[in-house]
Amino acid sequence: MAEAEPARSRRTAARAGDEGDERRRQPARRSAERSAPRRRQGAASAMRSAAEQLAQLLGRAPDSVSSLRPSEDGWEAQVEVVELERIPETTSVMASYKVTLDEEGELISFERTRRYSRGMTDRPT
C-alpha cells in the first residue's frame, strides 16, 4: 500500500502540470484569434460609417455620400457637407470630403477636396 501512495501523487502532480500547461496555451490561442483577419464591412454599412464619423469630427451633418469605392485597406468615400447655409439654399456653400475607412469601418483620414455653391453644376473640362 505504501507503493500506491507515491503513484497517486505522481498522477496528481502530472495532472496539475497538464492544467498549468493548458492555461499557458490559452492566451496564445486568444492572441491568435485577435490577429485573425476580420470580415470586411459591406458597402451600405461603410457608407453609414463614413457619414456618421465625419459628422462627429466636423460637427455638421453630411448632406449625402456621393461616391463609395473599395480600396486595398478598406473603403474610400466622397461625402458632401453643407458648410455655410444661405437663403436661397442654392447659394449655400458645400464641401466635398474624401473619407478613408479601414476594413472594419473605422475612419482613418479625411480631407476637404472641394468647396462649391449648392446650385453649381459640374461642367466638363
In the predicted structure, residue 30 carries a pLDDT above the cut 60 = no
Of 52, 72, 71, which is closest to residue 62 (Cα–Cα)? 52
In the predicted structure, residue 110 carries a pLDDT above the cut 60 = yes
Rounded to the nearest integer, the mean pLDDT of the chain is 79
Of 45, 76, 80, 41, which is closest to residue 60 (Cα–Cα)? 80
In the predicted structure, residue 11 carries a pLDDT above the cut 70 = no
Of 79, 33, 34, which is closest to residue 53 (Cα–Cα)? 79
- How many angstroms from the chain centroid is the CA of residue 20? 37
pLDDT band for position 125 (cuts 50, 70, 90): low
pLDDT tens digit sequence for 48-104: 999 999 999 999 999 999 999 999 999 999 999 999 999 999 999 999 999 999 999
